[in-house]
Amino acid sequence: MSDTTQLVMAGKKMLVPRLLKRLVQMALAVALTAGLFFVVIAGNGYLTGRTTFQAGFQAWLAFVRRPDILTTMVATAVVTVLLVYWQRERERKTGGSGRPSL
C-alpha cells in the first residue's frame, strides 16, 4: 500500500503523505466549526440589536479561544476523520459487503 495519497485543494491535485492529508482535513473541519460558531454567536447579537458586529466578533473570539471549546472542536475533527478512514479501510478489506472477501 502506498504511503502517499492525493489531496485536492482549490482545484489542484497534490501527492502528499497520508498523515498530512488527515491533518489538513482535521484543520479544515475545525475551521468550518469555528466559522459556524461565528455565524451563530456574532449573528445572534447583531440580529437582536443588542450588540454591534464588532462586539459579536469579540464574543466569538473569546468563545473560540477557550481551551475547552478548542479542544472539543479538535477532538471531534480527529475522531471523525479517523472514523471515516477506518470505515473506508474496512470496506476495502471486506469488499463492501461487511464480510471478508474470499
Could you tell me the residue ranges of all domains in the chain?
A: 19-94
In single-letter form, the type of residue at position 84 comes to V
The CA-based angle 54-57-58, given to 5 degrees, is 90
CA distance 58 to 32: 18
Does the pLDDT at position 3 exceed 70? yes
Residue 1: all three cell numbers together: 500500500
Q: Which pLDDT value is given to residue 100?
A: 55
Tell me how far the alpha carbon of residue 7 is from its chain's centroid. 15
Q: Could you report the per-residue pLDDT of 46-71, keeping only the tens digit for each?
A: 777 777 878 888 889 999 999 999 99
pTM of the model: 0.73
CA distance 100 to 93: 6
Does the pLDDT at position 35 exceed 90? yes
Closest by CA to 21, choosing from 33, 5, 32, 10, is 5
pLDDT average, residue stretch 75-98: 82
Does the pLDDT at position 44 exceed 90? no
